[in-house]
Amino acid sequence: MFGLIRVRKLSEEPGEPEKEEGSQEVNSVDIVLKRADLKAFSSRMLRIEPGGHTAFHSHSREHIAMVLSGRCNVETQGSTQELKPAMVVAIPSGEGHRFVNPGNERLALLVLNFFTEDESKPVAPI
């Protein structure tokens, strides 16, 4: 018995297709679900199919992304960095970027978002 501990198997959750214009073959699963007590943090897992990518975008929040499986190219205005499993990248606020799957297998990224007080976004209970 785990009491208050709740276990989820993300590989069995369908997630939601990424709707941002310019995204291709991207699916998103919220890690931390709605929680009224968390106002300045969110996290999700992006699943990107081979050849897929997020839209090139920027935002005022900072985020950290860690490759869980597969390969990832992080493209910014002037460079591309290749990431492999267990590698982490910090994307500062305002930095234009996109995540690209250059490999032959699905890419899974853990994305942690850090919001300032004025852009806080409630997140959901696990």
Number of domains in the chain: 1
> Which phi and psi (to 5°) does residue 2 adopt?
-95, -10
pLDDT surpasses 50 at 94: yes
Nearest-angstrom CA–CA distance, 40 and 108 = 23
Range of the domain at 68: 43-113
Share above pLDDT 90 across residues of the chain, in percent, rounded to a whole number: 44
Assign 38 a pLDDT band (cuts: 50, 70, 90).
low
CATH number of the domain within which 87 lies: 2.60.120.10
- Flag whether 25 is in a domain: no
Confidence (pTM):
0.78
Residue 52 belongs to some domain of the structure: yes
